[in-house]
Amino acid sequence: MRVPLEADVRAPARASDLPVAALGIAAVAAWLWAFLVTDRVAILGALLAVAAIAFVLAQRSAVAKRYGLALARRPRMGVAFAAIGVLAVAAALHDQPYPLLMLCTVMLFVVACIGLDIQTGYCGIVNFAGAAFFGTGAYTAAVLAKQGVPHLFGIVCGAIVAALVGSLLILPVLRTRGYYAALVTIAFGILFSTFLEVNNALGGPQGLKLPGIDLFGWRFNRDVDIGGASASFYVNYVVLALALALGAYVFSRRVDRSWIGLTFDAVRLDETAAAAFGIGIARAKIIAFTLGNFLCGLAGAVYAMMQGFIAPNNFTFGESLILVSILILGGIGNPLGIVPAALIIIVVPQKLQFIQEYRFLLYGILVVLILLFRPEGLLPRPVRRYFPAPR
Amino acid sequence: MDPGVLAQYAFNGLMLGVIYAMVAVGFTLFFGVLDVIQFAHGDVVMAGAFVALATYLALHGLGVAVPGLVVIVVACAAALAMALLGALIARYLVLPLRAAPAFNTLLITLMLGSILRELVRLFYPNGSNPQPFPRLLPTASVNLGNFTLRLDTTILLVVGLATIFVVNLVVRRTRLGLAIRAVAQDSETARVMGIDFQRIVLVTFAIGSALAGIAGVVYGLYYNEVNFDIGLLLGVIGFSAAVVGGLGSIYGAIIGGFLFAALQTIGSVALPVSSAYNNVFAFAVVIILMTWKPTGLIAEPTSERV
């Protein structure tokens, strides 16, 4: 039995979608470039204000709806344009390592948060140990790189080990619900960072050093030379992180649109009713939890190799709360919302050194305010569409 | 093992148990009236300890040095400040989210805990380092072989048990307690009977948080040191203790508190690994217990209306 899903009955694309999307991406890329490159507080504030005003205006007028429809009609175009936009920004920033590093960090956090979104936003499993799974990937990659294992294999292993460590928690997560499940993941998150602190084999509080990525002779930590023009080696990482972020986005959208995604929705909204309709709750939760931890571990492994150094205080409970803050700010269940949220939460404190020390406090206040006044986040999850997008 | 050393461990475990029980009773009271978990409760304990410390320093600065008076004023200040904080949390963070999914309440209180931690770390003078807590109680002691019975810890133990007893008495024997229990049982019907729902919720949060404030003072006086991050551990263990005993039951919370202290003490004595793994062990026990008995040792009968 097959009921046509959105993907099957997509409306034919309109010719005007292409220029409209190109215009939007160009504007966003220009904004992103300015946002990453500025180090003046006034300009940063102005950019954020412009973004906020543009956001509100787009929501009020028909612009946001227009883009939503264009994206729904031609999802591949959206992904391709996003890739072009990020590469253009990277090209414009090619000789400035620090903004490039921030761009990579944002994209890797997007990957990890998409993982958490599959768990929390789609399937309703609360996970307050995101940083622990991120850290599992990072430490696995570090240990394997030290043993001389090929880096690609090490990164994939990081993701797999994160999923395996997650499987230790599957039984507790399946048997508990709501607050109790939250407690289990909180306890695990704290256990993980405490364990890293006291365990000497993994470097203890001093942490571990890692080499840069080397993929079949493609050395990531060497500056790039293209036709005489040289670029910072972080461009390599931008390409990799971009591929991962887009891959994770497309993957999460596919999962969401498949029967697995429908099952997740049913389990999240009402477990009892879902079970009464014959949906395997345990199976759905295991799939969501494992996929999410896999993505967290993957992001963590690449992040570790990019940073070249990891320590337990990169992966504390506070960091897990930051990942959840990104999710809440972006709008839970909508992977698209994660991107602006990650940009704000990661880049702004890096730019404003004087608030760096206060960032946990500010995020806490930010999330409290969002929950009180706009619990659906910046970009609320759209209602699932089963029928063609209107023309 | 020498009986004296064993007795020492048992006594330390008992002390730890009282602190955990005081925290767990708060969790159980809140869950009773509102069916929510206040995840910042552990950090309220920490805040209580710091209010006590600040009050002590202020009194010290003013030159007040009557030992008995100082400790009473300090404890009262912590309890009152935390009672107010608890009521504010209930009024402005928990009650407004009553209609929202449980996840939102969970997150808002978790974030509040993070805010409290950061406020102390950033704005208490030198707050990122452990702060010495003054010894305000008489330190006479009796030696029985290897077992040292100290007067100050004995007082703390008695005071801790007495506060829990008083809270239990309030809930079981007074008109206010009757109203709290009515709201816990069925808030709709309680409202129909003329009970001011919001007032009872606020009072319950005030009582539970005052208890947490006193727990913070007991913690400080026992360890002679407080740090901004003690709330995380106390909150997780207090919640687990409340769950293990069965959420909503005060006796369950007390039993759970002592059970956890016993497990932790046994763990630190019996496990072959170094004591650095103490907390790792405690959290592993939390996870295992939650898996084994997801709704507590004394399981609550559950039914659900769909």
Dihedral sign of CA atoms A190, A193, A196, A199 in order: negative
Per-residue confidence band for A227, with pLDDT thresholds at 50, 70 and 90: low
pLDDT of A1 > 50? The answer is: no
- HSE of B291 in the Cβ direction (CA atoms, 13 Å)? 17
* Burial label, A268 (beta-carbon count in 10 A; 0-12, 13-18, 19+): buried
Question: Is B118 close to A175, i.e. CB distance below 8 A?
Answer: no
Containing H/E element for B106? helix B102-123
Q: What's the rounded mean pLDDT across residues B134-162? A: 82
Nearest residue on chain B to A327, judged by CA atoms? B107
Question: Is A364 close to B280, i.e. CB distance below 8 A?
Answer: no
Contact B12, B265 (CB under 8 A): yes
CB pairs under 8 A between A and B: 122
Q: pLDDT of B24-33, one tens digit each? A: 999 988 888 8
Interface of B with A in 20-59 (CB under 8 A): 37, 39
Q: Which residues contact B63 (CB under 8 A, 6 or more apart)?
A: none
Q: pLDDT of A256-281, one tens digit each? A: 888 888 899 888 888 888 888 888 88
Nearest residue on chain A to B94, judged by CA atoms? A372
pLDDT at A5: 45
Q: pLDDT of B65-116, one tens digit each? A: 777 788 888 899 999 999 999 999 999 998 888 888 878 888 889 889 989 9
Which chain B residues are closer than 8 Å to A124 by Cβ? 103
Is pLDDT larger for residue B278 or for residue B264? Answer: B264
Q: Which residues contact A1 (CB under 8 A, 6 or more apart)?
A: none
Residue B240 at interface with chain A, using a CB cutoff of 8 Å: yes
Per-residue confidence band for B214, with pLDDT thresholds at 50, 70 and 90: very high
Residue B290 at interface with chain A, using a CB cutoff of 8 Å: yes
Nearest residue on chain A to B128, judged by CA atoms? A357
pLDDT of A218 > 80? The answer is: no
Per-domain residue ranges of chain B: 3-304
Residue A367 at interface with chain B, using a CB cutoff of 8 Å: yes
Q: What's the rounded mean pLDDT across residues A232-246? A: 85
Q: Which residues pair with A224 in a beta bridge?
A: A231
Nearest residue on chain A to B105, judged by CA atoms? A371
Helix axes B175-185, B151-173, angle to 10 degrees: 70
pLDDT at A7: 45
Chain B: give the shortest CA distance to residue A92, in Å.
38
Phi, then psi, of A229 in degrees rounded to 5: -85, 130
Per-residue confidence band for A173, with pLDDT thresholds at 50, 70 and 90: confident
Residue A364 at interface with chain B, using a CB cutoff of 8 Å: yes
Residue A184 at interface with chain B, using a CB cutoff of 8 Å: yes
Residue B273 at interface with chain A, using a CB cutoff of 8 Å: no
pLDDT at A32: 83
pLDDT at A9: 43
pLDDT at B205: 92
Question: Is B283 close to A188, i.e. CB distance below 8 A?
Answer: yes
pLDDT at A137: 92
Chain A: give the shortest CA distance to residue B271, in Å.
15
- Long-range contacts from A358-361, C-beta under 8 angstroms, 24+ separation: A358/B118, A358/B122, A360/A318, A360/A321, A360/A322, A360/B114, A360/B117, A360/B118, A361/B114, A361/B115, A361/B118, A361/B119, A361/B122
Chain B: give the shortest CA distance to residue A364, in Å.
5
pLDDT at A389: 53
SS (H, E, C) A40-84: CHHHHHHHHHHHHHHHHHHHHCCHHHHHHHHHHHCHHHHHHHHHH
pLDDT at A4: 41
Q: What's the rounded mean pLDDT across residues A76-102? A: 82
pLDDT of B196 > 60? The answer is: yes
pLDDT of A172 > 60? The answer is: yes
Residue B178 at interface with chain A, using a CB cutoff of 8 Å: no
Contact A89, A339 (CB under 8 A): no
Contact A130, A296 (CB under 8 A): yes
Interface of A with B in 224-263 (CB under 8 A): none
Residue A64 at interface with chain B, using a CB cutoff of 8 Å: no
Q: Can you give the C-alpha Rg of chain A in angstroms?
A: 21
Per-residue confidence band for B302, with pLDDT thresholds at 50, 70 and 90: low
Three-state DSSP class for residue A216: coil
Q: Mean pLDDT across chain A, nearest whole number?
A: 82
Cα B228 to Cα B214: distance, rounded to the nearest angstrom: 16
- Highest-confidence range of A288-302, A322-336, B236-250, by mean pLDDT? A288-302
Helix axes B197-223, B151-173, angle to 10 degrees: 170
Is pLDDT larger for residue A324 or for residue A387? Answer: A324
Cα A226 to Cα A233: distance, rounded to the nearest angstrom: 12
Q: pLDDT of A107-160, one tens digit each? A: 999 999 999 999 988 988 888 889 999 999 999 988 888 887 787 888 899 899
Per-residue confidence band for A223, with pLDDT thresholds at 50, 70 and 90: low
pLDDT at A3: 42
pLDDT of A2 > 50? The answer is: no
Looking at domain B3-304, which CATH architecture does it have? Orthogonal Bundle (1.10)
Per-residue confidence band for B46, with pLDDT thresholds at 50, 70 and 90: very high
Residue A274 at interface with chain B, using a CB cutoff of 8 Å: no
Q: pLDDT of A30-72, one tens digit each? A: 888 888 777 777 888 888 888 888 888 877 877 777 777 777 7
Q: Which residues pair with B131 in a beta bridge?
A: B226
Which chain B residues are closer than 8 Å to A171 by Cβ? 291
pLDDT at B210: 94
pLDDT of B298 > 70? The answer is: no
Q: In this complex, which of B108, B114, B290 lies closest to A172 when CB atoms are compared?
A: B290
Chain A: give the shortest CA distance to residue B217, in Å.
24
Containing H/E element for B144? strand B141-144
Contact B231, B113 (CB under 8 A): yes
Which chain B residues are closer than 8 Å to A364 by Cβ? 111-112, 114-115, 118
The least confident of A59-73, A215-229, A230-244 is A215-229
Is pLDDT larger for residue A20 or for residue A286? Answer: A286
Chain B: give the shortest CA distance to residue A51, in Å.
26
Q: pLDDT of A192-213, one tens digit each? A: 888 888 877 777 777 777 776 6
pLDDT of A372 > 70? The answer is: yes
Interface of A with B in 313-342 (CB under 8 A): 317-318, 321, 324-325, 328
pLDDT at A219: 66
Which chain B residues are closer than 8 Å to A172 by Cβ? 287, 290-291
The least confident of A225-234, A274-283, B88-97, B286-295 is A225-234
pLDDT at A330: 86
Closest CA relative to residue A373, chosen from B93, B191, B261, B39: B93
Helix axes A17-37, A75-92, angle to 10 degrees: 30
Q: What's the rounded mean pLDDT across residues B35-60? A: 90
Q: Which amino acid is at A110?
A: V
Q: In this complex, which of A194, A321, A358 lies closest to B111 when CB atoms are compared?
A: A321
Q: What's the rounded mean pLDDT across residues B240-261? A: 84
The least confident of A169-178, A182-191, B68-77 is A169-178
